[in-house]
Chains A and B, each alone.
Chain A
Amino acid sequence: MSLSRREFIGISGAAVAGMALAPGLRLVELARARSPEEAVTRLQRWGLLVDIGKCHDCNACVTACHEENGVTSHGRPATDAQWIRKVELKDKLTGYVETLPVMCQHCAEPPCVDVCPTGASFKRIDGIVLVDKHICIGCRYCMMACPYKARSFVHEETTNQKPHAPRGKGTVESCTLCVHRVDAGRIPACVEACNKDGNKAMVFGDLKDPHSEINKQLASAPTTQLRPDLNLNTGVRYRGI
């Protein structure tokens, strides 16, 4: 194995940075699993990769998400909340149909955060975009700003919420990337379901970890963001659209 000059400098730089200056003091903190009392850091940025080539006529991710987060239907599709949905794309020339799951894209530059008048819509330091429902006044500016129609307004009183996913009338909500699971070192419910019952089309991981599965896959073949023209740098990427 031969190293280019650039690679050699990169590796030795990382080695120097990773070395302890003194016991417990490092130039660059190593990424590792968090304990519950530790705050999230910018050492991670969580992301998802969806391989449309593998995603077929299956609803496992949607069912799992709504089950995990207690998102129930009132039988009124126009106003029911949806955190993730399957979108069908049809090539009109050939008639070829492909489907893909669309949820909050967890943008690095989220428009929903830009427009929120109260600061309820925010991006966590590890890249997860959330709504702080304690502060949300239900104005729905974020829903208008989101180019992916990822957010829903809760129109009706909610019951039987999950302890980890509070939901209430008069607030806006969307995919949280299963933040309660991620904080516990688990993967989101949609990814788990896709790998178990679905077509193994989804990969979750840390976009800042060069050795993560998602980064290896992103580096190995072309992928795209939805609406890349908006320069939002989404955390959710797609392959094969």
Chain B
Amino acid sequence: MVFGGMAVVAAGMLTVSAVLAAETSAAKPTLGPTVKTFKGDKCVEDTDYMRRNHMKVILHQRDETMHRGIRTQKHSLKNCVDCHADPKTNSVLGKDGFCESCHVYASVNIDCFTCHTAAPEKNGQPPKAAGPAGLMEKMRTSAVTGTANGNQP
């Protein structure tokens, strides 16, 4: 009986650990956004820095370009799009798009692409998947249903 009981406990523990293992392996791919780069090995800055500060970098560059005519490629939004746009959709938007997937995950509204194109300059093709209008639609509906609350007015 004793051995039998231990065997049951052991079997139970094995099952639990198996379930846990299954859970973690199944949950892993869905954790976090899809962040893919399609061109080049390395971003213009360290990944950690860009995760925290990309908005400050493009905000600074925006004013420099608009008002002072400084058009360096390095920190420009155009450069972001050129490297990060998915060649399949030709866009940084869409469900798995570099910008949109992360912004949806973080519930942060993204305003850039209501005016700026989400397609890289090189190909010159309009984005096939969710365009700017599609993204705005998504943001609006998700804000209404409460799955994402944009922090932008």
A interface residues, Cβ below 8 angstroms from B: 34, 36-40, 122, 124-126, 130, 132-134, 157-164, 166-169, 171, 179-180, 183-184
Given A157-B132, A157-B136, the answer on whether A163 and B70 have CB atoms closer than 8 Å is no
Residue B126 CB within 8 A of the other chain: yes
Question: Across the interface, do B116 and A130 meet the contact criterion of CB distance under 8 Å?
Answer: no
Contacts of B71 in A (CB 8 A): 36, 180, 183-184
Cβ contact of B115, chosen from A130, A171, A179, cutoff 8 A:
A171
Taking a contact as CB atoms under 8 Å apart, the answer to whether A132 and B72 are in contact is no
Chain B positions near chain A (C-beta within 8 angstroms): 62, 64, 66-73, 78, 81, 114-117, 119-121, 126, 131-133, 136
8 new A-B contacts, CB < 8 A, other than A36-B71, A130-B66, A169-B114, are: A124-B67, A159-B133, A161-B116, A163-B120, A168-B114, A179-B69, A180-B71, A184-B71
Give chain B residues whose Cβ lies under 8 Å from the Cβ of A125. Answer: 68
Q: How far is the CB of B79 from chain A (nearest CB, A)?
A: 10
Residue of B nearest to A166 (CB): B115
Assembly CA distance A132 to B63 (angstroms): 9
Question: How far apart sit A163 and B132, CA to CA, in the bound complex (Å)?
Answer: 13
Do B69 and A124 touch (CB < 8 A)?
yes
A38 to B71, CA, bound (A): 8
Q: Lowest 8 CB-CB distances: which A-B pairs, in order?
A: A168-B115, A40-B69, A39-B68, A166-B115, A163-B121, A160-B126, A161-B117, A166-B116
